[in-house]
Structure 1
Amino acid sequence: MSDTPLTKAAEATPPTVARKIRGLSDRAIAWIFVGPTIFLLLAINIFPLIWTINLSFTNYRANRTNRAVEYIGTRNYERILNDSDIWLSMQATAHFLIWTIIFQVLIGFTLAWLINRKFKGNDLWTTIIVLPMMLSPAVVGNFWTFLYQPQIGLFNYVIAFFTGADPSSFQMLGSVDLAPWSIVIVDTWMWTPFVMLICLAGLRSIPDYIYEAAEVDRASKLRQFFTITIPMVLPFLMLAVLFRGIENFKMFDLVVQLTGGGPGSTTEVASINLKREAFEKWRTGYASAFAIILFVTVFGLASIYVKALNKVKER
Structure 2
Amino acid sequence: MDDSSTAQRIAKSAAAATPPAMARQIRGLSDRAIAWLFVTPTIILLLAINIFPLIWTVYLSFTNYRANRLNREVEWIGLRNYERVLTDTDIWHTLQVTAHFVGWTMFFQVIIGFGLAWLINKQFRGHSFWTTLILLPMMLSPAVVGNFWTFLYQPQIGLFNYIVAFFAGIEPSSFQMIGDVNLAPWAIVIVDTWMWTPYVMLICLAGLRSIPDYIYEAAEVDRASKWRQFWSITVPMVLPFLMLAVLFRVIENFKMFDLVVELTSGGPGSVTELASINLKREAFEKWRTGYSSAFAIILFVTVFGVANIYVKALNKVKQR
TM-score by length of 2: 0.95
Q: Which amino acid aligns with 2:6?
A: D
Are positions 1:220 and 2:225 aligned together?
Answer: yes
* Pairwise CA distance, 1:151: 1.6
- 8 Å CA contact 1:108–1:196 kept in 2: the answer is yes
- 8 Å CA contact 1:85–1:264 kept in 2: the answer is no
Deviates more, 1:264-273 or 1:12-21: 12-21
Are positions 1:295 and 2:300 aligned together?
Answer: yes
* Pairwise CA distance, 1:264: 4.4
| Alpha-carbon distance between aligned partners in 2 of 1:68 and 1:2, rounded to the nearest angstrom | 72
Where 2:6 maps in the other structure, the secondary structure is coil
CA distance 1:2–1:167, shift in 2 (3 Å) = farther
| Alpha-carbon distance between aligned partners in 2 of 1:303 and 1:276, rounded to the nearest angstrom | 29
Are positions 1:229 and 2:234 aligned together?
Answer: yes
Are positions 1:265 and 2:270 aligned together?
Answer: yes
Q: Encode CA deviations 1:67-118: one digit per residue, 9 max, x unaligned.
A: 0000000000000000000000000000000000110011011001100100
* Pairwise CA distance, 1:161: 2.1
| Alpha-carbon distance between aligned partners in 1 of 2:197 and 2:132, rounded to the nearest angstrom | 13
CA distance 1:6–1:124, shift in 2 (3 Å) = farther
- 8 Å CA contact 1:2–1:8 kept in 2: the answer is no
* Pairwise CA distance, 1:292: 0.4
Q: 1:42 aligns with which of 44, 47, 70?
A: 47
Q: Which amino acid aligns with 2:301?
A: V
Where 1:265 maps in the other structure, the secondary structure is coil
What are the residue-to-residue correspondences of 1:28-177 with 2, within 5 Å? 28-177=33-182
Q: Which amino acid aligns with 1:253?
A: D
CA distance 1:166–1:133, shift in 2 (3 Å) = same
* Pairwise CA distance, 1:17: 2.7
Q: Which amino acid aligns with 1:173?
A: I
* Pairwise CA distance, 1:270: 0.5
Q: Which amino acid aligns with 1:3?
A: T
Deviates more, 1:20-29 or 1:31-40: 20-29
* Pairwise CA distance, 1:8: 6.9
- 8 Å CA contact 1:58–1:285 kept in 2: the answer is yes
TM-score by length of 1: 0.96
Q: Which amino acid aligns with 2:141?
A: S
Q: 1:22 aligns with which of 13, 21, 27?
A: 27
* Pairwise CA distance, 1:7: 4.2
| Corresponding residue of 2:204 | 199
| Alpha-carbon distance between aligned partners in 2 of 1:226 and 1:120, rounded to the nearest angstrom | 26
* Pairwise CA distance, 1:177: 0.5
* Pairwise CA distance, 1:223: 0.7
- 8 Å CA contact 1:107–1:192 kept in 2: the answer is yes
* Pairwise CA distance, 1:314: 1.1
CA distance 1:183–1:30, shift in 2 (3 Å) = same
Gap runs ≥5 in structure 1: none
Q: 2:310 aligns with which of 289, 305, 309?
A: 305
Q: 2:213 aligns with which of 208, 213, 238?
A: 208
| Corresponding residue of 1:3 | 6
Q: Which amino acid aligns with 1:140?
A: V
* Pairwise CA distance, 1:15: 4.0
CA distance 1:141–1:16, shift in 2 (3 Å) = same
- 8 Å CA contact 2:64–2:76 kept in 1: the answer is yes
* Pairwise CA distance, 1:260: 1.1
| Alpha-carbon distance between aligned partners in 2 of 1:252 and 1:156, rounded to the nearest angstrom | 24
Where 1:3 maps in the other structure, the secondary structure is helix
- 8 Å CA contact 1:173–1:258 kept in 2: the answer is yes
Percent identity, aligned pairs only, is: 80
| Alpha-carbon distance between aligned partners in 1 of 2:86 and 2:318, rounded to the nearest angstrom | 37
| Alpha-carbon distance between aligned partners in 2 of 1:226 and 1:53, rounded to the nearest angstrom | 47
CA distance 1:7–1:312, shift in 2 (3 Å) = farther
> May I ask how many residue pairs the two structures share in their alignment?
315
Gap runs ≥5 in structure 2: none
Please report the RMSD computed on the Cα atoms of aligned residues, expressed in angstroms. 1.6
Q: 2:289 aligns with which of 271, 276, 284?
A: 284
| Corresponding residue of 2:257 | 252
| Alpha-carbon distance between aligned partners in 2 of 1:310 and 1:128, rounded to the nearest angstrom | 33
- 8 Å CA contact 2:177–2:183 kept in 1: the answer is yes
| Alpha-carbon distance between aligned partners in 2 of 1:52 and 1:263, rounded to the nearest angstrom | 31
CA distance 1:239–1:2, shift in 2 (3 Å) = farther
